[in-house]
């Protein structure tokens, strides 16, 4: 009887934890949507991409998946360092786009996260095509 009660208690705790985690995830997605509602996201595009990568990394369990994310974030760091010095380097932007594309294509993730990163990819491609007009 005692083992049954312990099993029920453990199951209930896991259920509550799962519900809390799902609620946090919903909040995170809602906050992301809010950040992209206003046009000022353009000035923070690469920070937003990094935040999205951080989110996907936080739910990543595979070493290869983790490696692709870390590598893409390193390339993003290099690009942002150049942009901070007012140097636009399209080759570095292409490296970030290519790295993010590999994450989208090869990493295991939810469909919602894949859609989110595909959205980031499209925004970066738009930036590449129109960067002079973005005020970065």
List pLDDT tens digits, range 47-73: 899 999 999 999 988 899 999 999 999
List pLDDT tens digits, range 16-35: 444 444 445 568 888 888 87
DSSP state of 133: G
CA gap 115, 107 in Å, rounded:
13
| Domain ranges, ordered by start, for the chain | 1-37, 40-133
Question: For residue 20, what pLDDT is reported?
Answer: 42
CA gap 13, 65 in Å, rounded:
29
Instruction: Report pTM.
Output: 0.75
> Which range, of 16-20, 106-110, 116-120, averages the lowest pLDDT?
16-20
CA gap 75, 100 in Å, rounded:
10
């Amino acid at each position: 009887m005692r083992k049954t009660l312990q099993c029920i208690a453990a199951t209930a705790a896991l259920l509550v934890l799962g519900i809390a985690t799902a609620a946090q995830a919903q909040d995170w997605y809602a906050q992301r949507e809010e950040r992209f509602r206003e046009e000022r996201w353009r000035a923070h595009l690469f920070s937003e991409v990094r935040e999205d990568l951080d989110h996907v990394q936080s739910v990543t369990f595979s070493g290869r998946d983790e490696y692709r994310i870390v590598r893409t974030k390193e390339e993003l760091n290099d690009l942002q360092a150049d942009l901070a010095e007012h140097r636009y380097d399209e080759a570095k932007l292409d490296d970030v786009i290519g790295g993010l594309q590999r994450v989208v294509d090869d990493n295991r993730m939810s469909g919602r996260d894949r859609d989110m990163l595909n959205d980031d990819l499209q925004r970066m491609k738009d930036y590449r095509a129109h960067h002079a007009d973005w005020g970065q």
